[in-house]
Every structure is written in C-alpha cells, then in structure tokens.
Amino acid sequence: MSQILRPDDITRKYGKMFCRGVYTLVDEENGKARIIEECSAKGPVEWDAVNRRRAGGAITDIRVEGTTLIMDTIIGEREVSFGPAAKDVGGQGLKSLKVEGDRVRTTWVGLAGASVGIGACMPQGPGTIEAVYPANAKVGGAHRLEVSVVTPKMVRVIYAVDDTDTKEKGASWVLMLKLANSAPIGHYLEHKIIQLNPNVPEKTTNCVAVGVSFAVEPKDLDALTDYVVNFVKENTISENTTLAMYQGLVVPEAAKKYGLKAKEEIMNIDDAAMAAEASGIRLIEVTGKRGSIGAVAGIGCFDMGLAAAALPDDVIS
C-alpha cells in the first residue's frame, strides 16, 4: 500500500526545506530527458551530484551550475549502484524516469541523510505535483527510502534572434534578457550570447546572435511562442529581424556545423535556410530575412558553453 502526498502535505510533515524548483524536460524522439533541480545552497547540490553520478542508474550525465543540478537521463529504467557511499556506490540515485501522458514519474532511492533530499526536500519543491511513498516510509536516520516524484511533462524550446539593433541604438542581448525575464509562460532556463564572425560587413559592432531557452509544458508552447514573437516585434528597431525556434534537448549536427562556420565565414540567407530545414529549426520572419543568418547560428551554438561566446582562436580553459 502506498501513500500519495502533495507538496503542501510534505512541507507540513517534514518542515520547510531547500528545493526551489524541479523541472523535468523530455525529448521522446531521442529517448532523452533532463531533470533540473534548483536548490538554495551549493553544498547539497555538489554532494548529490557526486553520489548520483557514482550510483549510475538512469542518469547519463550530471553537472552543477551555481546552486542548480542538471541531470541528463534516459527515458526508462536502469539498475542503481546504491548503498552507503563508497568508491563505486552512491548514497542516492535515480532508478527510473517514465513518461505517463502529460506527467513524468521519476523514482529515486536514498539512504540515511540522503533520503531526506529525495524524500522530503525535492518533493516539496515548486514544480512537483505529488510524491508516492511506500507505506510506513521513514526519512532520515539509517533508513532506506524509495520514492517516486511526479512532475509535469515539459519540453525545452530555444529561441534565437539576430538583427534587432542598429549601429546607433539597441542591443540584442538586452532585448532577449528582458524577454526571458518578463515571459509569463514557461520557466526561463538560459540566456546565451553567441559570437559570430566579426568581419561581416553588415554587423552593428560585435556581431552576435542571442538565444534564450525555456522549459514549457507542450500545451503552453504555442502561447509562449506567440509571446516571444510579439515581444521581439514590438521591441526590435531593425528592419531585418528574424527569430529561429527549436524544440528538443539535442541540437542537430547540421545546426552545430553551421553555427561554427558562421564564426569564421560569411554566410548568407540561403545557407541559413538550408541548415534550418536540415535541423528542424523553424524560422519566423519578424521584420526581415537577413537576421536568419545569425539566428540559426544561435541555435547551433546554444549548447557549446564558453565556445558559444568565443571566436575560434580564443583560448578556453
């Protein structure tokens, strides 16, 4: 017999904890998912990252950005090397991730203090719908706990623009940061400034494209896109603005190759259109077509980390 508790129930039972949000993004076409867990402190995030990596299970990659834990996973189930923390064993791990209609169910195991993180902290965080516990479940002490956390099914969407400013006025990175922070739909994830070839004759000053990403429930995706398009249309001061849009956790190779070429070569509108078609990138002409050249590159380079902001000859450590 299991018991189902909602976040408010969990808070009343265990007291207010430290999770600031849990978001589960799925890419069913590629069989991948991403869990983003935001915390109020870095120590628990680092400990969880090391132990979950050691435990293996459904997690394929894990990284820490500030006080946020980002976990790439399979959609499915794998054995967890779980128990008291040791060289090849983690005190906490992800056993499975399953898509159930418009929800995602993740099943976690934790021991002793680690069971508090997955049994009392994460399940009461914003974004959780409910948690499913075994009957007579005990959290903390020397107890072993297995709990399923249910969250809304979300997808990642990236929007990238170019050509929103002029030599006299405006900055694309500012426009997109304002857009991301003001969006009433979805959960804003990342803002990226993508350095492109500074020898392009039509550039303003620095020649960059800018992208932002969101986690959003599929039912809200069209509304979010409408908001983004209208915001860009109302705030651009260029007659050549184009918006590129891509949904998924894996940026296609064709887009990545195009993005890297755009850092060294002078591309044209046809190059951008071909790369977009090959990659499943949607192009939205806001005030003109020329911005598609940088917008597609913004999608292609979005997941490249510091390399996105760099030129090919920059030394990145």
How many folded domains does the chain comprise?
Answer: 2
Residue 89 resides in a domain: yes
Residue 315 resides in a domain: no
Residue 261 resides in a domain: yes
Residue 244 resides in a domain: yes
Q: Which of 154, 173, 202 is the last residue of a domain?
A: 154
The string of pLDDT tens digits covering residues 43-92 is 999 999 999 999 999 999 999 999 999 999 999 999 999 877 777 787 89
Clarify whether residues 133 and 230 are in a common domain: no
Question: Is 203's pLDDT higher than 60?
Answer: no
Q: What's the whole-number mean pLDDT along residues 4-15? A: 96
Q: What is the pLDDT of residue 168?
A: 61
Clarify whether residues 187 and 262 are in a common domain: yes
Cα separation of 237 and 243, whole Å? 14
The string of pLDDT tens digits covering residues 101-127 is 999 999 999 988 888 999 999 999 999
Query: Under a CB-based contact definition with an 8 Å cutoff, are residues 44 and 171 in contact?
Result: no
| Cβ atoms < 10 Å from Cβ of 200 | 15
Q: Which pair of tokens denotes residue 123?
A: 């399940």
Banded model confidence at residue 233, pLDDT cuts 50, 70, 90: very high
Clarify whether residues 131 and 179 are in a common domain: no
Residue in 250, 279, 255 with CA at minimum distance from that of residue 267? 255
DSSP state of 140: S
The string of pLDDT tens digits covering residues 165-175 is 756 666 889 99
Instruction: Tell me the CATH number at 207.
Output: 3.30.70.2200
Q: What is the pLDDT of residue 138?
A: 85
| Max mean pLDDT range (1-5, 117-121, 282-286) | 282-286
Question: Is 180's pLDDT higher than 70?
Answer: yes
Instruction: Please calculate the CA angle 61-64-70 and round it to the nearest 5 degrees.
Output: 50
Residue 288 resides in a domain: yes
Q: What is the pTM of this model?
A: 0.93
Q: How many CA atoms lie within 13 A of 177 on its CB side?
A: 7
What are residue 174's phi and psi, to 5 degrees? Answer: -70, -45
Q: What is the pLDDT of residue 225?
A: 98
Q: Which of 154, 184, 216 is the last residue of a domain?
A: 154
Clarify whether residues 130 and 169 are in a common domain: no
Q: What is the pLDDT of residue 228?
A: 98
Domain residues for 17? 2-154
Query: Under a CB-based contact definition with an 8 Å cutoff, are residues 236 and 198 in contact?
Result: no
Question: Is 223's pLDDT higher than 60?
Answer: yes
Q: What is the pLDDT of residue 261?
A: 96
Question: Is 11's pLDDT higher than 60?
Answer: yes
Largest CA distance in the chain: 69
Instruction: Please calculate the CA angle 300-46-52 and round it to the nearest 5 degrees.
Output: 80
Higher local confidence (pLDDT), 135 or 246? 246
Buried b (16+ CB within 10 A) or exposed e, 3-40: eebebeebbeebeebbbebbbbbbbeeeebbbbbbbbe
